[in-house]
A = this chain, B = another copy of it.
């Protein structure tokens, strides 16, 4: 599985915005989040754009612009984020259709589709159990660097 970090970065951004707002600020800028995640602001804006389309965050333009949460961290789950930023299914079928004249080639795709659906359903269930509130709690529970 080509590992992509989209879910990780998106969770990072949401946790950052959530904590920042709890410290009294109204909006967070993509530049601030990018500095924390050590990446480019455009990468953050792209990801947050997808989260906005999913109704998880809001953006404000003009002067004093930036991003804010559209929902409480406790009501956002990793499944919400996953569905917002991950396009395709977990496992793919053959890229060319198998030989339909062969018994296995004919039955393999319906068989695997059913099996994959069950597995992905379980994955979604697990993702839905983790709220961004818990993510932020775990983040803050990380041991501080010893001096």
A140 within 8 A of partner (CB): yes
A69 within 8 A of partner (CB): no
* Size range of the chain A interface in the assembly: 35 or more
Determine the distance from Cα of A105 to Cα of B95 in the docked complex, in whole angstroms. Answer: 39
Partner of A99, one of B9, B38, B127, B135: B38
A2: min CB distance to chain B, Å: 4
- List B contacts of A100 (CB < 8 A): 145
| Chain A, 76-120, CB within 8 A of any chain B CB | 78, 86-100, 102-108, 110-112, 114-115, 118-119
A75 within 8 A of partner (CB): no
Partner of A39, one of B96, B126, B139: B96
A110: min CB distance to chain B, Å: 5
- List B contacts of A19 (CB < 8 A): 103-104
Q: Is the CB of B126 within 8 A of A118?
A: yes
Partner of A142, one of B94, B97, B110: B110
- List B contacts of A130 (CB < 8 A): 115, 119
Q: Which residues of A contact B (CB under 8 A)?
A: 1-5, 7-9, 11-12, 15-16, 19, 35-39, 78, 86-100, 102-108, 110-112, 114-115, 118-119, 122-123, 126-127, 130, 134-136, 138-142, 144-145
